Amino acid sequence: MKKEDKIYIAGHKGMVGSAIWRVLVSKGYKNIIGRTSKELDLRNQQEVLAFFEEEKPDVVIDAAARVGGILANNNYPYQFIMENMQIQNNLIDIALKNEVEKFIFLGSSCIYPKLAKQPLKEEYLLTDSLEPTNEWYAIAKITGVKACQAIRKQFNKDYVSLMPTNLYGTHDNFDLETSHVLPAMLRKFYEAKENGNAPVTLWGSGTPMREFLFVDDMAEAVVFALENKLPDYLYNVGTGEDLTIKELAETIQKVVGHTGNLIWDKTKPDGTPRKLMDISRMHSLGWKHQINLERGIQKTYDWFLSNIKEIKEVKL
């Protein structure tokens, strides 16, 4: 990689894409391009083709996707499978046809089977059935992984897939109806603190275990893949460490400074007991996360406080 190489980040306004952009700039990369969804509809093959022919990127990082929680996946299965396949198929195929040598495809740990052994290893892909609530999104992402693998095999190009664990950080979604567990907790504790340290009620027993990676560490992993030719087609990206949801809640409570009671509503479901990534492949190459959970939550909370006015106005 040369610092002047043209790098196109698809999804550059999202939490992950914007973090990748910031890390690249900090490392001296000078030729980074992006387009908003209004400027370029990645579902539209002709628009994507025209963009590639005009811009001629040297590298493509695909951080673009239609995403959502369990409710959205259940209610809009066709959009989740079709739009994600349209986005990634257009990017992958047109990058190949335009002789892009390096392509980094970002996916999700949901590509692995629902009942796979813990921690999740890359070789568990396609060994059993998926979690039904998000299989539409997972199947789309699996096709992206396999397309990049096929290009490596057939055309010997450096197309690689990175599968992150649960990500959080600055520019996250803090809408209580649509956000993931960590940002939702952070907002709940903030609002309870503002409301005289009112009690906070959380779903389940607090016993399930989850792994969390700060988004800047994910961005560093992408740049690591950019600057090195990785020998395998698929890599998990995470911390290799997990904690209970109860421990997560108590950590967020401490960072926010909420001193009220914490109540667990055990009539609500817990979900999967454990979801941990095996990250030995990335570790063996020399990449490792740098930001521990408490520091990452503090960074996220600082950003949240600085943007609270805009966050309260957003209704996703």
Task: For the domain covering 7-172+212-240+275-292, report its CATH number.
Answer: 3.40.50.720
Given a contact cutoff of 8 angstroms between Cβ atoms, the answer to whether 84 and 108 are in contact is no
- E strand segments, the chain: 7-10, 32-33, 59-62, 102-106, 158-164, 166-168, 200-203, 209-210, 212-214, 234-237, 243-244, 262-265, 274-275
Q: What is the pTM of this model?
A: 0.94
* Residue 171 Rama label (left phi>0; alpha psi -120 to 50; beta): left
Given a contact cutoff of 8 angstroms between Cβ atoms, the answer to whether 215 and 168 are in contact is yes
Buried b (16+ CB within 10 A) or exposed e, 13-45: ebbbbbbbbebbeeeebeebebbeeeebebbee
Q: Per the annotation, where are the binding residues for substrate?
A: 188, 203, 210, 270
pLDDT by residue, tens only, the chain of 316 residues: 899 999 999 999 999 999 999 999 999 999 999 999 999 999 999 999 999 999 999 999 999 999 877 777 778 999 999 999 999 999 999 999 999 999 999 999 999 999 999 999 999 999 999 988 889 999 999 999 999 999 999 999 999 999 999 999 999 999 887 788 999 999 999 999 999 999 999 999 999 999 999 999 999 999 999 999 999 999 999 999 999 999 999 999 999 999 999 999 999 988 788 899 999 999 999 999 999 999 999 999 999 999 998 887 765 4
Q: What is the DSSP letter of 270?
A: -
Q: Per the annotation, where are the binding residues?
A: 11-17, 106-109, 141, 164-167, 180, 188, 203, 210, 270
What radius of gyration do the chain's Cα atoms show? 20
SS3 126: coil
SS3 8: strand
> Hey, which residues are catalytic here?
137
CA angle 227/140/161 to nearest 5° reads: 15
- Total number of residues shown for the chain: 316
Given a contact cutoff of 8 angstroms between Cβ atoms, the answer to whether 72 and 59 are in contact is no
Given a contact cutoff of 8 angstroms between Cβ atoms, the answer to whether 66 and 42 are in contact is no
CA angle 61/121/136 to nearest 5° reads: 60
Q: Per the annotation, where are the binding residues for NADP(+)?
A: 11-17, 106-109, 141, 164-167, 180
